[in-house]
A and B are shown apart, each in its own frame.
Chain A
Amino acid sequence: MGKYVLKRIVLMLFTFLIIISMCFILVKLLPNKPAKQFGKDMQLIEMRREALGYNKPLLEQYVIFLQRSLIGQDWGVSEVLYLGQDVWGKFIEKMPATVIVNAYTMLISVPLGLLLGIYAALKKNKWQDQLISTLVVIFVSTPSYVYAFLVQYFLCFKLKWFPFQMNAGYDYFSWSTFVSIVPAVMSLGFGTVAQLTRYTRAELTEVLTSDYLLLARTKGLTRAQTTVRHALRNAMVPIFPMILGEFIGIMGGSLIIEQIFGIPGVGPLYVASVSSATPDYNFFLLLSAFYTLIGLVSGIIVDISYGFIDPRIRMGSRKV
């Protein structure tokens, strides 16, 4: 097991290095000279660029990038969005909002999704199951921003239950901030709950029809006992890694939902850094590295947790 984990981590770091190097070189190949403009002191700008090392050869810049950015957490200063401010510091400052919104989403939707899934599986082919399954198809397919519009129109505008946007400031744990986060949590939650319900139902129905469950019933266990002790535990084998993976994945957040509800998180930062006329390359590089790492880490955690949860699948990677 230890060897396998090590192998996976080394492979992950290797992949990460390749991807981030590609990003770095592709970004550096882009024209990055500020245009001449009336009122701009070009000499000053040139001096600044020289001091920041933008005029060095590409390979030298790459070595500096590897040393200072990947190892030393120094990702340079912002060029466009927050001129002159430290990119890493800004990123850390934006992180909590994203994490909090997504953590609330998971906290609420995981139990709900599991419960609905279990209920649907127990009532298989009855009207409750059919109702849940139909709703699940609808909720899984509808894009999350459509929920965001519906929530914003009906709950925020018509009923005035929640504010339109998340509260500004850094007071993340007050009640009013929580209330202002609820619309975003709901918009993200519908899809997550539906997905989890579908997954749980599928896994559980498969386990419920297996032979060892029949045996458990024949030896005299009640239905509740078999369901909780045998079926659920076995069904959790693929479900739990999925939840774990999502938990890591939520750090990436949802770009659109954060933008709609004005959450001062990482998503809007990324969008702002690339959609302006002159992209903020330092932010772009850092956030690309971040999103890549998130994807890699969640993948690896899913794979490794399979082995920890179910000894039968220990060794060897997850085969689809």
Chain B
Amino acid sequence: MSEKMMNTAAFEVPKDKFRFVPMEGRTHDKKLETKPVGYFRDAMNRFRKNKGSVAAAWIILLLVLYAILIPIFCETPYSRALTDTMYLNYTKLPPKIPFLGIDGCSDVTVNSGKYHYYRAIAEETGLETIRATYRADYKDPTASGKSTFYDLRVDNYTSMGMLYLTLTGDQFEDIQKWQDEHGIQVIYPAIKDAKQTDANIWYEVDKKGQPKLDKEGNLKSIYRTTTPEDTAYHSLRIAADNDPEHPMAYARVAGTSTAKSYVTRINKYTYFQYRYGFEPGFVFGTNARGQDIFTRLAAGARFSFLLAICVSAINLFIGTIYGAIEGYYGGTTDLVMERISDILAEIPFIVVTVLFQLHLAKKVGVIGALLFAFVLTGWIGMASRVRMQFYRFKGQEYVLAARTLGARDSRLMFRHIFPNSLGTIITGSILVIPGVIFTESSLTYLNIVNLESSTMTSVGTMLANGKDYLATDPYIIFFPALFISLLEISFNLFGNGLRDAFNPSLRGAD
């Protein structure tokens, strides 16, 4: 304005020299041909070039989706059945993923008694229990006695065999109705020898448990027969039950005459179909208590993620404010606050956790106490990071300019300095997440924090439970261990990538 006035004062420009600016084709500076690249876009571009970090980001996304979606969509009557003790009968079933060729079978070496046991299940139920016989009927010179051995590939799902189940009249009736509808045999004939504890032995055996075979090498059945008038069972009958004069009995009747109960031999495989509505097949297998690992791991993962994000957010909040005040004011304030956080930082985390569990677990719950423990010392790292950034930026000219214009302290701190340290802060809070998940899994593994319940679990507890079956059923521990390793690796890769992207000068450090 003043310049213009000066100009007019200096030169008297005649009026006819003036002309209108043409509105089309205005004479600007050269227009920018590309879009302006901001701080975050620049960081994103750099991040995208780091292939490892991008891959890690995708893996994290997959794991998060797994944790979110599986508990919602893959909930079955089986994994939801919490009060149902039936799942105790489906323990340690190996993974079965049909389209990947993982069929739930395992290679075993058994003696002849066990071999006939598997054979008998296959013969009775018509399900294929022995998938392949690698070596049959051989003698092992190191083993004593006359027993011979078989190398087999056994289907763990179909070889579960039979189970004695005591049913009420209504339940008995209901299963029969289902059998008629679906044409699948669930209840199998009762056997003569009521003392036989193993429901799978439907054939004659000697005292050692070896089957007594007839001349053709077939098993001799010991099914119980009944009178044709007995109409309690009126559903499907097995193929061998073809004598109308002496039909087989499908239950041993117990209880009083008014309240009858039926002791039945049911097939675990088909009973599963009747009870839960689908064929048994667990993607990650079941654990030693019969719980589905696939949904349970997802529940544990979901908890881990939620906890880590909560801790990260709370740390960010407290740490930012604390660090900002420290860094901005400096001097005595900084000194006193630093001493406080120094002392807090020196308390071993495990001691904090235990004390919080002992004091607070009854009042705010185990999870609340765990969260408090994480937050008590967790924000210190963030605070020191923010403090450093504030020291770096607070003396710069743009802050001085804002101050001269009369900006308040809080405005200077959070409007002017804070956005500049955002990159470091974001990286820091992302890198907190794997640490929290790792610590949480360690604590639950050691049973210092116990989150186990019918609906809840944690990765650490799953690992601790699976460890007892490391030699016999390694898949129980494999999937939780794989999950946590993948998570830790990809989070660290992702975090490092972010740090490099936001702060290229730090690339390769640490």
Contact = CB atoms under 8 A, between A and B. Distances in A.
B358 A30 contact: yes
B141 to A, nearest CB: 20
Contacts of A163: none
Contact of A152 (B348, B470, B488, B510): B470
Task: Kindly state the interface size class of chain A when it binds its partner.
Answer: 35 or more
A146 B474 CA distance: 13
Interface of B: 52, 342-343, 346-348, 350-351, 354-355, 357-359, 384, 388, 434, 438, 441-442, 445-448, 463, 467, 470-471, 474, 477, 481, 484-485, 488-489, 491-493, 496, 508-510
B485 A320 contact: no
B346 A202 contact: no
A138 interface: yes
Given A292-B346, A296-B346, A274 B354 contact: yes
A302 to B, nearest CB: 13
B448 A274 contact: yes
B446 A292 contact: no
B463 A145 contact: yes
A210 B446 CA distance: 47
A15 interface: yes
Contacts of A152: 470
Interface string A162-190: 00000000000000000000000000000
Interface stretch (A18-26, A44-52, A69-77, A82-90): A18-26
A78 to B, nearest CB: 17
Interface in A137-155: 137-138, 140-143, 145-146, 149, 152-153
Nearest to B347: A19
Nearest to B385: A320
A153 B442 contact: no
Contacts, number: 106
A255 B350 contact: yes
Contacts of A138: 489
Interface in A184-209: 198-199, 202, 205-206
A61 interface: no
Interface string A279-307: 10000100010011001100100000000
A143 B346 contact: no
B341 to A, nearest CB: 12
A153 B446 contact: no
8 contacts: A27-B358, A142-B488, A143-B488, A199-B510, A202-B508, A274-B354, A274-B357, A295-B348
Contacts of A292: 346-348, 351
Contacts of A140: 492
B467 A157 contact: no
A284 B347 CA distance: 14
Contacts of A30: 358-359
